[in-house]
Amino acid sequence: MDATITLNDGARMPRLGLGVFLVSDVAVCEASVRSALRGGYRLVDTAAFYRNERAVGRGIRGSGVPREEIFVTTKLWPSDYGLDRARAAIGASVERLDCGPIDLLLLHQPVGDVIGAWKAMEEAVDAGTVRSIGVSNFTADDLDRLLAVARIRPVVDQIELHPYWQQPGLLPVLARHDIVAEAWYPLGHGSRELLAEPAIVAAATVHGKSPAQVVLRWHLQRGFVAIPKSTDPAHIAANFDIGDFALSADEMAAVDALGRARPMQRIPRWVMSLARFARPRPRP
């Protein structure tokens, strides 16, 4: 399997990366990014909201891996939406990451002045400060509203996606628009229940792999991009070591059959809309 996927704007994005949500200790964040990149990862997923963009940038610069081989994603938070605020916020993320153009910039949530922010993101693509743009947590209706006015189509929708929640309604919509599904919570946020599922443990035993490796392999074989978070060097290495086996059609079907009717994380829309008022304050 190719290590990258081609986005609808022609850019190539690694299929597997490191997520750094909730990695609040900046030294740990920097070390995790460095160790992942030295171990072969080429995609790092952060956000202004995670307050660790500076640490991610230091990890990238300290890794010794040429910058042009690395794909860095960050996200705008709703308090920075609207044309003028988003222009300033994009500049601030570029400054904090301090590693040249952002490879992929996402709208973190579908609330607030999404359209104004998208225009600023399109401008940033034109100016070359951002290479590709996409969205996160967008439903089919959110996408329709954006696609009606967007000059540049989103390349990805980063969404909750794992064997327990397979987004049955949204995936066909993304496929129709050639938008890649990128999985957050790829390991179900480290769910012990998920990693102990008999179908997953059985496949792990057959292939001599861990349950987490089986779940990540399932993501890749379903065509998703996955960004597991870890600060444990052994987990970081293991999560990337999934290129030497393949799940059979029966094993894939057994994991597919774990799908449930609801996501794990359910934040009501009105609560999420309060994000417009909570501006993240970056750490050093």
Ligand X SMILES: NC(=O)c1ccc[n+]([C@@H]2O[C@H](COP(=O)([O-])OP(=O)(O)OC[C@H]3O[C@@H](n4cnc5c(N)ncnc54)[C@H](OP(=O)(O)O)[C@@H]3O)[C@@H](O)[C@H]2O)c1
Residue 82 or 134 having the CB closest to ligand X: 134
The neighbour count for residue 65, using CB atoms within 10 Å, is 17
Shortest distance in whole angstroms from residue 218 CB to ligand X: 13
**Token pair for residue 139?**
């439903």
Helices 249-256 + 198-207 axis angle, to 10: 150
Q: How far is the CB of 97 from ligand X (least distance, A)?
A: 14
Q: By CB under 6 A, name the binding residues for ligand X.
A: 19-21, 45, 108, 136-137, 158, 184-190, 210, 212, 227-232, 235, 238-239
Q: Which residue is nearest to ligand X (CB)?
A: 19
* Amino acid at the residue 19: G
Distance of closest approach, residue 43 Cβ to ligand X, in angstroms: 10
> Other CB atoms closer than 10 Å to residue 103's CB: what's the count?
20
- Helix intervals (H) in the chain: 26-38, 53-62, 83-97, 114-127, 140-147, 170-176, 192-195, 198-207, 211-222, 233-240, 249-256, 269-273
Minimal distance in Å, beta carbon 99 to ligand X?
17
Nearer to ligand X by Cβ, of 28 and 84: the residue is: 28
Whichever of 58 and 219 has its CB closer to ligand X, that residue is 219
**Please, what is the minimum distance in Å from the beta carbon of residue 162 to ligand X?**
7
Active site members: 50
Nearer to ligand X, 151 or 223 (CB): 223
CA dihedral 117, 122, 123, 124 (to 10 degrees): 90
Q: What is the largest CA-CA distance in the chain?
A: 55
Q: Work out whether the CA dihedral 61, 64, 70, 73 comes out positive or negative.
A: negative
Nearer to ligand X, 78 or 228 (CB): 228
Type of residue numbered 71: F
